[in-house]
């Protein structure tokens, strides 16, 4: 579900955008000036929210980009089995099976509260609260 559309020149560092059906966060951007007969160009460096891969691309300044809806929610860890955690949303009490990221695997314990993001239907644990 796309939240809104923006021009490439309107994106700022930290903006979430969709690049090739992958949700990314803009880390760096440079806008070139327009030429005599041309358009401004935008060079962006973005990192995928889910896969963590860096992407570099150049688009015209008037290119329309999709800004996705990223919901940040809190949950309690019910149980942990190998690389999966069973968490319960603290607002609607929904139970979700979710993968535990490698970088925070040692921090998450049963009974602890975590922040998870719902990004275009994919859920990922971001940090321990």
37-53 confidence digits (pLDDT tens): 788 999 999 999 988 89
H helical segments located in the chain: none
Residue 21 CB neighbour total at 10 angstroms: 7
What's residue 2's pLDDT?
A: 67
Closest CA to 60 of 43, 45, 76, 78: 43
What's residue 50's pLDDT?
A: 86
Q: Please state, in angstroms and rounded to a whole number, the distance separating the CA atoms of residues 90 and 114.
A: 10
Question: What CA–CA distances, in Å, run from 83 to 3, 69, 86, 98?
Answer: 31, 27, 10, 9
The answer on 61 and 8 residing in a single domain is yes
Which domain range does residue 87 map to?
70-128
The answer on 101 and 121 residing in a single domain is yes
What's residue 1's pLDDT?
A: 61
The answer on 85 and 64 residing in a single domain is no
Q: What is the pLDDT of residues 74-116, one digit of tens each?
A: 999 999 998 899 999 999 999 999 998 888 888 888 989 999 9
Q: Please state, in angstroms and rounded to a whole number, the distance separating the CA atoms of residues 70 and 46.
A: 16
The answer on 74 and 50 residing in a single domain is no
What's residue 7's pLDDT?
A: 93
């Amino acid at each position: 579900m796309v939240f809104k559309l923006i021009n490439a020149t309107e994106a700022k560092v930290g903006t979430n955008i969709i690049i090739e059906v992958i949700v990314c966060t803009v880390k760096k951007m440079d806008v070139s000036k327009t030429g005599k007969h041309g358009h401004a160009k935008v060079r962006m460096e973005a990192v995928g929210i889910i896969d963590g891969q860096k992407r570099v691309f150049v688009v015209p300044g008037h290119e329309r980009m999709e800004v996705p809806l990223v919901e940040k929610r809190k949950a309690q860890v019910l149980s942990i089995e190998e690389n999966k955690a069973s968490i319960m949303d603290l607002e609607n009490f929904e139970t979700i099976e979710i993968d535990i990221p490698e970088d925070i695997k040692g921090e998450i314990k049963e009974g602890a509260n975590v922040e998870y993001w719902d990004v275009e239907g994919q859920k990922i644990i971001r940090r321990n609260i």
